[in-house]
Amino acid sequence: MTTLPRPDAAPVFDTARSPHARLHPVALGRVRLTDTFLEPRRAVNRDVTLLSQYRHLEDTHTLRNFRRVTDGSGEPFVGYVFNDTDVYKWLEAAAWTLAEAHDPALEGMIAEVAGLIEGAQDENGYLDTYYSAGRENERWSDLKDNHELYCAGHFIQAAVAHHRTTGSQHLLNVARRLADHIGSVFGPASQGKRELTDGHEEIELALVELSRETGEKRYLALAEFLIEVRGRGVLRADEGNHTFNSTYYQDHLPVREMNRVVGHAVRMMYLTTGVTDLYLENGDTSLLDAMQRLWTHMTTRQMYVSGGLGARYEGEAFGEDYELPNARAYTETCAAIGSVMWNARMLAATGAAKYADLLEHTLYNAVLPGWSQDGEAYFYQNPLADEGHHRRKAWFGCACCPPNVARLMASLPGYVYSTAGSEVWVNLYVNSEASLPVPGQDVKLIQRTDYPWDGKVELTVGTAAHFALNLRIPAWARGASLSVNGEAQPTPQPETYARVERDWQAGDSVTLELPMPVRRVRSHPRVLENAGRVALLRGPLLYALEGTDHPGTLLDDLVLPPDAELSVQRVPDLLGGVVVLEGEARRSPQADSDLYGPDANEVPAPASGKLRLRAVPYYAWANREPGQLRVWIREE
Amino acid sequence: MTTLPRPDAAPVFDTARSPHARLHPVALGRVRLTDTFLEPRRAVNRDVTLLSQYRHLEDTHTLRNFRRVTDGSGEPFVGYVFNDTDVYKWLEAAAWTLAEAHDPALEGMIAEVAGLIEGAQDENGYLDTYYSAGRENERWSDLKDNHELYCAGHFIQAAVAHHRTTGSQHLLNVARRLADHIGSVFGPASQGKRELTDGHEEIELALVELSRETGEKRYLALAEFLIEVRGRGVLRADEGNHTFNSTYYQDHLPVREMNRVVGHAVRMMYLTTGVTDLYLENGDTSLLDAMQRLWTHMTTRQMYVSGGLGARYEGEAFGEDYELPNARAYTETCAAIGSVMWNARMLAATGAAKYADLLEHTLYNAVLPGWSQDGEAYFYQNPLADEGHHRRKAWFGCACCPPNVARLMASLPGYVYSTAGSEVWVNLYVNSEASLPVPGQDVKLIQRTDYPWDGKVELTVGTAAHFALNLRIPAWARGASLSVNGEAQPTPQPETYARVERDWQAGDSVTLELPMPVRRVRSHPRVLENAGRVALLRGPLLYALEGTDHPGTLLDDLVLPPDAELSVQRVPDLLGGVVVLEGEARRSPQADSDLYGPDANEVPAPASGKLRLRAVPYYAWANREPGQLRVWIREE
C-alpha cells in the first residue's frame, strides 16, 4: 500500500473513545480501494474535481471574501451569507485526500486556504467573513437565517479532518479558538449567556468531533447545549410565511419528542447526525430512541426509492407522508450526504445492518447521481422523472452540494469497515485492500469482487489472527451463501451481519455470494404518482429509463408487463462500464385526449406493438444527450 | 332598483369606445343581484369584509406606510415592498361597492385613504411609499423585483374604478400625474428613456383602462411600450437560481412568440389581461392569436379541474405540462381572479362562449373557495387534497389575495351581461334584475332562477324593444332546451350562445332549461396523481369529499365504483344551503404495507363493505371542523 502520512489515523468520525459506540469506523488511511467503480470516481475527485472547485472558489469571490477581511480593500462581501462553507467543505475534502498520499500541489492550496482562514479570524476567536470588515456590530443578530454557527461547524469539521490526516495543530487551534468564543456567547442564561442556537444545524456534530479530537469535554457540553436548547419555537419566520415556521428549522419540538422528520431536509440530517454523535458520547437512550423513531418515519413515509430525501422545492423540505413527486422531487444531494453521515453513526451506535444498507443505497443512488462522470458538474436536485431539461451545472450561487460530494468521495474508504475489539465488520463491498486493527495487531484483508455489478465477494485474510468477521448481508440478498475455505457456512440472513469467528490463518478465504436478480419494486398506494408503476433494482443499484435509449418513444407510452422477462447485460463501453437491464416492452400510447372529461383517461389499444426496453443505473443518468428520465415505469 | 350614484356608468372594464371589442360589459350599476348564492356573499363583502380588511390595513402598518411619507415621524416602512397594493385593491373594492348605493361610512374610509395616497405622491408624480421618505435615490433601481410599476398599476385601476362609480376627478388626477411621470421615465431609448419594464405585470391593463377613462392615447401608447419591451431576457435572477429566470417574469419571449403559459401564474394572467386589453384597442390580430394559443395551452395542459392555475409553490408558478399535484396545488386565489379578468376580455374580443364558461367555472370553483363563508378569512393556496392542516387565515404577510377577492366580489354584477348595439348577451345565470342599454333605450330584464343549484332560468323582458338575446349554453349543458313565451326554440348547442332576435314586448318570457346531471370527470393519463380517480361536477360546480362527512374513514380508503348511482339532495341548513351528492361507496383500505416492495401496492380485499359517500361543493370546503379533503375520488 501507498505510504500514508498517518496510516492509522483519520476515521471519518472518531469513536475510539466514545463509550457508547458498538462499532468504530476504520481509519480511511487503512483502506485502499482498487475497484473499477468507486475508485475511478475518487481519482476524478482528486485529479479534476478538487482543482476545478478551487477555481470556482476563486472565480465566485468566495476566497476573496476571506482576503477582504484583512487586505483593507473595502471590497464588499460577495454571495450568500454562508458562502464561507464552500471553502470549508473543499478544505475538508482536500484534507481527507491527504490520507491517501502526499500531494504537493494540493498541500499548497490547503496552505493558502488555511492562511486565509487564520487571517480572517478575529482576536476573540470569531470567524465569519460576512460579519467581518465592517459588519462586526451585526454579529449573532440573525441566528435564524444567517448561518454563523453553521459556518463555524463546517470549519470545525474541516479543521478536525486536517488534523487527523496531517497531524498539524494549525487549523485545529483556529477551531479551538472559534469554539471557545462560541462557548463564551452561547450557553445557559444562568451563566449570562444566550440560550439560542442557529437556524441551520451543523455545529453540533462538529463540536462533538472537536471534543473527540482534542479531548476537551467542554466542546461536547456546548454541542449538548445547542441540541437541548431546540424545541422552543424561537426559530421561525414572521407570521404569514407558511413555509419557514419552526418545523423548517427543527425548533418545533425538543429532539426527544420528535416523531417525524420535518422541515429543511439537510438541516434535519445534520441534526440527527449530531444527536447520534452526542448519544455515542453520553449514552442517553432517550436520544437514541428518538433517532430510531425518526429513522423509521423517514424510511417508511418520506424516502424516495433512490434513498433521496426532501420532496419539496419550497423550503428544500420534507413534505407530507407519502408526498413523493418524481419530476418535482427536490432530493438535494446534500440531504443524501447527510443521510450517509447519519446512517454511519446509527451503525456505530447499534451495529444494525439496516443502517449500513441504507448508507450504501443512498451513496449509490442518491449521492452519486449528483455528480457528473467527468467530475465537473453537479445536481442540486435529483428528480426521478424528467423531460430533459434538468442538467448538471458547473456551480451554483448556493454551491453547498459540490464540495459536499467532494468531501464524501474523499473520505469514502472510511466507511468500508468497522471494528470493535476482536470484531471486524465489512459494511461495503468493494475491491480493496485494508489493514484493520484488532487487539495486538493489524490484519490485512483483501476484497476481490466486481460489486456492484456482481454479488460474488472473495475475502482473503492476509494475517494470522483470532477475530470475528461480520459480513453485511443486504436486505435484498435473499438466498445468499457463505463459505470459508470452500466450506459452506449456515445460510446468511438478509439484513443482518453474518458472523464468522475463528483463528484465521494467512491465506484463509471467505466467499460470499449475494444473488442479484432484477427486483421489481412497487410503491405504497398512497404514493399517488407511482400508481400502476414499477421500479427496477438489481443488487444495490436503482435503474431508470432514459429517452436516449428509446428513440422515438415517449417513456410514458412504454409499458413493461408484470411478466416481462428482463435480461442482465454488461456493456463495458457505456457510461464508464455498466450493467444494463433489457427486456421486451409494449408501446401503449397515452391518450391525446382532453385534460378533463368522461373519457379523458382512456388509453387507446396498443399501437405499434413491442419495443425494446433498456434500463441503465440511475446514478449514471444525464451523462449523455438530454432526454426523458423515468425511474417509475408503467406496468399496465 | 336602488338609486345609484351613476346608474349607467362603471363597467368593470370600459370597451364602449374600443374599436375591436365585439361585446361590451354592462355597467355594474345596471345590474342588481337578488339571488341566494352570490348576493349574500356580496353582502358579506360589503358589510364584513371591507371593514375587517380596513382594520388589517391599519394593524399591519400598511396605511401608516402612507402616513410616514409626510408626517416626518421617521418610522420605517413596514412589510413587503409591494404592500401599498393592499390599500389600492381595497380602495378599488370600496369604489365598486359605491355603485350599489351611497354608504357614508365606506365613503369616509375612502376619503381617508384617498387623502393619504394624494399626500404620499411626489411633486413629480411618483408614488410608492417604500421608495419615499428616505429611499428616493433608489427609485426604479430594481425593476425586476421591487414592484413599483405593479404598485402604480393597482393604484391606477383603483382610481379608474373610483372615477367610474363616483364621478370624482380627485384620484383620477393623481393617477394621471403618476402615469405621466412613468411615461417620462420609461419609453424608447431614442427618446432618452429607459427601455425596461416591471417584473410583475399589472401596469399594462391599468394604463389601457386609464386611457379609456381619460381619452388620453398616450397612456395606451405607454401600455403598448411596456408590453412590447418584454421578451429580451433582461428580467431574470442571478445565475444559479433555477426558478427566477426570465420565464418567471414572462420576459423570455416577445408576447407574440409565446406558446405556453409559464412562470409566476398571477403575473401571467395580468399580462394576458393587459395584452387582450391592448388588442381591444389596436386590433393587432397577432396579439389575439397569441392569446388564443396561450388560452388553449393553459386549459389543455396547465389547469386544475377547479379552474385553478399555478401548480408550483416555488415561484407561485406554472409547472410542466400535466404537472398538477393535488395536495401541493398552489392555485393562488389571485391567479384565479386574474383568469376571470382575462376571460372577460377574451369574451369581449371574440364573443366565444368558452371564455364565459371558464369565467364562471373559475369564479365558482377557484375564487370562491379562497374566501371563508364568514367573510373574514382567506386561502392563498387552494389545494385539491388536504389532510386538514390547510385552513383559511385572517391575513397574510403578503396579503395580495384578500383585497383581490373583495374587488372581484364588489364588481361581480358587471360580468353578468354584455351588449353591443341591439345585441344582449347573458353570460352568467343569477337571480337578478337589470337595465340594459340597447340603441335608444334601456331594457329591463329580470332573471328568475335557482342557479347554480338548478338549471332552469326564466327571463322576463320588461320593456318593449327590438334586440337579440344571446343566452350562454355552457359546454356541460347537453340536452338544453329553450322556449319563448312557451314556444319551443331550436335546440341550443353547448358552448355557444343561443340567439333569439325579435320585437320583444313587455312581459315576454324566455325559459331556458340547462340539465344538471352529475358528471363524472377523469383526467388525462399524464396527470399522474389522478390515475384511477374521478371528480364529480354538477352544473357549474365542482364537488369534493370532506372528512367531516365521513367520520372514521380515510378518504383514500373510499372507492366510488364507476356504476354507483349518485343522488342529488338539497340541504338548506348545510354550509349556507347547498346541493350535495350522495351515493353508496365501498370501503377498500389502502395497504398498510412497506413504502417500497414487490407487494407494496397490493390493496387488500374490501374490509367492512359499503359506506355512504357525500360530496359537497368544493367552494364550501374548510368551513367546518378541520379534516381531510379530496376532489379526486378513487374509482377502483
Per-residue pLDDT reduced to its tens digit, B540-556: 999 999 999 999 999 99
> From CA A173, how far away is CA B547, in angstroms rounded?
60
Which residues on neighbouring strands pair with residue B449, listed in sequence order?
B457
Cβ A240–B397 below 8 Å, yes or no? yes
Residue A583 — φ and ψ, nearest 5°? -170, 175
Q: Which residues contact A219 (CB under 8 A, 6 or more apart)?
A: A179, A183, A207, A208, A210, A211
- Cβ proximity of B381 and B392 under 8 Å: no
Model confidence, pTM: 0.92
- Residue B4: pLDDT band by 50, 70, 90 thresholds? very low
Residue B1: predicted pLDDT: 29
Q: Confirm or reject contact between B247 and chain A (CB < 8 A).
A: no
Mean pLDDT of B41-58: 97
Q: B8 pLDDT band (50/70/90 cuts)?
A: low
Task: Decide if A562 touches B, using CB distance below 8 A.
Answer: no
- Catalytic residue (choose from A400, A401, A423, A546): A400
Least CB–CB distance from A524: residue in B238, B323, B594:
B594
Q: Do B239 and A601 touch (CB under 8 A)?
A: no
Write out residues 508-527 of A within 8 Å (CB-CB) of B. 519-527
Q: B84-114: per-residue pLDDT in tens?
A: 999 999 999 999 999 988 899 999 999 999 9
| Residue A400 bears catalytic tag | yes
| Residue in A304, A380, A524, A538 to test binding to B, most B beta-carbons within 10 Å | A524
Shortest Cα–Cα distance, A362 to chain B (Å) = 15
Instruction: Give the pLDDT of residue A335.
Output: 98
Active site residue A228: no
Q: Give the cell for residue B628.
A: 381531510
Contacts of A395 in chain B (CB under 8 A): 240
pLDDT at site A130: 97
| Residue A4, C-alpha cell as written in the block | 500514508
Picking from B316, B332, B524 by the largest number of A CB atoms within 10 A of its own CB, the best residue to mutate is B524
Task: Judge: A596–B535 Cβ closer than 8 Å, yes or no.
Answer: yes
Q: Any idea which of A65-74, B330-339, B540-549, B603-612 has the lowest mean pLDDT? A: B603-612
The mean predicted confidence, pLDDT, of chain B is: 95
Q: Rounded to whole angstroms, what are the CA distances from B65 to A88, A581, B145?
A: 43, 64, 19
- Predicted confidence at residue B340, as pLDDT, reads 98
Check CB contact under 8 Å for B528 and A532: no
Q: Please report how the helices A333-350 and A401-411 are oriented relative to each other, as an axis angle in degrees rounded to 10.
A: 40
Identify the pLDDT of residue B601.
78
Contact B409, B402 (CB under 8 A): no
Cis peptide before B104 (omega within 30 of 0): no
pLDDT score of B519:
97
Is residue A355 helix, strand or coil? helix
Q: What is the pLDDT of residue A580?
A: 98
Any idea of the CA torsion for B8, B12, B16, B20, to the nearest 10 degrees? -160
Whether residue B604 has pLDDT greater than 90? no
When scoring B601, B629, B630 by the number of chain A Cβ atoms within 10 A, the one with the most, hence best to mutate, is B601
Is B604 an interface residue toward A (CB < 8 Å)? no
Cα–Cα dist A49/A42, whole Å: 9
Tell if the CB–CB gap between B535 and A603 is shorter than 8 Å.
no
A325/B319 Cβ within 8 A: no
The CB-based long-range contact list for A142-147 (8 Å cut-off, 24+ gap) reads: A143/A196, A143/A197, A143/A198, A143/A199, A143/A235, A144/A199, A144/A235, A144/A236, A144/A237, A144/A249, A145/A81, A145/A199, A146/A81, A146/A82, A146/A199, A147/A81, A147/A82, A147/A85, A147/A198, A147/A199, A147/A200
Residues B601, A523: C-beta atoms closer than 8 Å: yes
Contact B398 A524 (CB under 8 A): no
* Residue in A299, A387, A595 nearest the CB of B303: A595
Asked if the C-beta of B565 comes within 8 angstroms of chain A's C-beta atoms, the answer is no
Residue A41 identity (one-letter amino acid): R
pLDDT of B591: 82
pLDDT at residue A592, rounded to an integer: 78
pLDDT band at B141 (very low <50, low <70, confident <90, very high): very high
Cβ–Cβ of A603/B398 closer than 8 Å? Answer: no
What is the mean pLDDT of the segment spanning B132-145? 94
pLDDT band at B7 (very low <50, low <70, confident <90, very high): low
Residue B5: predicted pLDDT: 47
pLDDT of residue A6: 53
Give me the amino acid identity at B580.
V
Q: Is A465 helix (H, G, I), strand (E, B) or coil?
A: strand
pLDDT at A238: 67
How crowded is residue A551: how many other Cβ atoms within 10 Å of its Cβ?
7
Q: Between residues 284 and 343 of chain B, which touch chain A (CB distance below 8 Å)?
A: 299-301, 303, 305, 312-314, 319-320, 322-323, 325-328
Q: pLDDT per residue over B238-277, tens digit each?
A: 655 667 899 999 999 999 999 999 999 999 999 999 999 9
Nearest to A327 among B242, B323, B602 (CB): B323
ipTM at complex level: 0.90
Residues of chain A scoring pLDDT < 70: 1-9, 238-242, 603-608
**What sections of B33-147 are H helices per DSSP?**
38-44, 50-59, 64-71, 84-97, 104-120
Nearest beta carbon to residue B595 from set A320, A523, A556: A523
Tell me the percentage of chain B whose pLDDT exceeds 70. 97
User: Is pLDDT of B558 > 50?
Assistant: yes
Query: What is the mean predicted confidence (pLDDT) over B151-165?
Result: 97
Yes or no, beta carbons of A397 and B519 under 8 Å apart: no
CA distance A237 to A166: 42
Q: Does A481 touch chain B (CB under 8 A)?
A: no
